[in-house]
Structure 1
Amino acid sequence: MKGIRREVEALEYSQAELVRRIKNKDMVAYEHMINTYTKMIYYLAYNILSAAHPKEDIEECVADVFLDAWIKIAEFDETKANFRTWLLILTKYKALAYRRQNKKNNIVNIEDIEIKDDIDIEKQFFLRKDQEQVMKIINSFQKTDRELFVRRFLMGEKISDLARAFNLSRAAVDNRLLRGRKIIKESLQYE
């Protein structure tokens, strides 16, 4: 296994090469995929599951995403999405499945819940509603702006990296993000 890890660390794959090698069941490429995308996938799974799931469930979800990618790689179509976006979509659906499963298995006795402060519960409720509304607004953005927002604010990518990835100037990325934040702010004020 140490030999594979050293080999993985030394390699850089293009998207097409990585996909081709995973389709050929190349374990080095699989390890490279895990090393490259774990942080991104964990972050998205955490954002979807953190309120109701322990860390172990989030880690299991991430592992399941990579297993799904390995098994379903033949379904990946480069003409419809890039590999990174495809992994994020797999993550979203896997995390939502975990969340649904938790709701089915998580029957809580109301008497077991200790309410410390009504204001905290109310504040949490409105924060959750705001998050859902913000996600609806972001999903209404044009594809490039939506991806910029997700990658900057959900994935924590640097603006310089985004500018390079989208072949835009840093000022163009800043302007798109500023315009998006303004739309979100205005939409939340009117509701």
Structure 2
Amino acid sequence: MVSDFKLLTLLNNDHNRGLEVMMDNYAGLVYTIVYNQLSSIFSDEDIEECVSDVFLHIFKYKDNIDLNKGSIKALLAVIAKRKSIDLYRKHKNFIDSEIPIESMDDNLFDEFDSVSSSVSKNERNNLLIQAIKSLGKPDSEIIIRKFYFKESSKDISKALGLKPNTIDKKSSRCIDKLKTILRGVL
């Protein structure tokens, strides 16, 4: 593995070789992050395009990389997460109509541990999707961001213009609402 300093020097002096080395070293990391965020929503081609966008972004802004602020690996991880979220937001209207939550954080499902074993996972997911949608905005978006995209309350608060403690309170209340909504169904 090449050091960050050598990689940055390569990117600046021999663009093609620098990009090749960066992709050799970090393509797996970037792909894993993007895949984990988007695989249940987007096609493999969309995921690969998002991965390419991450490396293109680094390449375009290579002159602004400050290794004193962090490693290239960390920078790639942050950009991969942001590009995934950007892709989600870009296609938000479609996704809102059909939210796939198979890979949603299991902590949300743990809140509903009284689910009957006779209810299939697919049926449970569909019921949960409908219940989340019934919360309305911004509650449904908070739940999706927190448990699907695993965003922090701080990040959600910035995106929605609310205080982090408000996000935490709303999240807790939404879980209680979902329990009530689903109690009669599951």
After TM superposition, the score normalised by the length of structure 2 is 0.54
Contact 2:10-2:18 at 8 Å conserved across structures: yes
- 1:127-146 → structure 2 map (5 Å cutoff): 131=147, 136=152
Match of 2:5 in 1: 16
Change in Cα spacing, 1:96 to 1:134, as seen in structure 2 (3 Å) is closer
Structure 1 unmatched ranges of 5 or more: 1-11, 110-115, 140-190
Distance in 1, Cα, partners of 2:37 & 2:22: 22
The C-alpha deviation readout for 1:81-137, integer Å capped at 9, x for no partner, is 11100111111111111111111455759xxxxxx9532324678996874596539
Asked if the contact 2:12/2:18 (under 8 Å) is kept, the reply is no
Q: Contact conserved, 2:31 with 2:48, CA < 8 A, in 1?
A: yes
In the alignment, residue 73 of structure 1 is paired with which amino acid?
K
Query: Considering only aligned residues, what root-mean-square deviation do their CA atoms show, in Å?
Result: 3.5
Distance 1:32 1:101, change over 3 A: same
Contact (CA 8 Å) 2:8, 2:62: kept in 1 or not? Answer: yes
Change in CA separation of 1:105 and 1:25 when aligned onto 2, cut-off 3 Å: farther
- Structure 1's 44 and 23: CA in aligned 2 closer, same or farther, altered over 3 A? same
2:26 to 5, 20, 37: 37
Q: Is the 8 A contact 2:145 2:151 kept in 1?
A: no
Matched pairs, number? 124
C-alpha distance in 2 between matches for 1:133 and 1:93: 11
Question: Deviations 1:159-185 (Å, cap 9, x if unpaired)?
Answer: xxxxxxxxxxxxxxxxxxxxxxxxxxx
Q: Deviation above 3 Å: which 4+ runs of structure 1?
A: 104-109, 122-137
Q: Measure how far apart 1:64 and its partner are.
A: 0.9
- 2:78 aligned to 68, 75, 89, which one? 89
Unaligned runs of 5+ in 2: 99-120, 133-142, 156-175, 177-186
Q: 1:130 to 1:91 in 2, by over 3 A?
A: closer
Deviations 1:19-44 (A, max 9, x none): 11102243122101111111100110
Rate the CA distance shift 1:118–1:26 in 2: closer, same or farther, 3 A.
Answer: closer
Matching residue's letter, 2:29:
M
Which residue of structure 2 aligns with residue 120 of structure 1?
A: 125
Q: How much does 1:14 deviate? A: 1.2
Q: Which residue of 2 aligns with 1:51?
A: 40
Identity %: 25
Structure 2 residue aligned with 1:78: 67
Q: CA 1:17 to 1:133, structure 2 compared with 1: closer, same or farther past 3 Å?
A: closer
The answer to whether the 8 Å contact 2:37/2:149 transfers is no
Q: What TM-score, normalized to structure 1?
A: 0.53
Checking the alignment, whether the CA contact within 8 Å between 2:34 and 2:50 is kept in structure 1 is: yes
Shift of 1:46: 1.1
**Which residue of the partner structure matches residue 109 of structure 2?**
none
Hey, what's the Cα distance between the residues in 2 that align with 1:102 and 1:74? 31
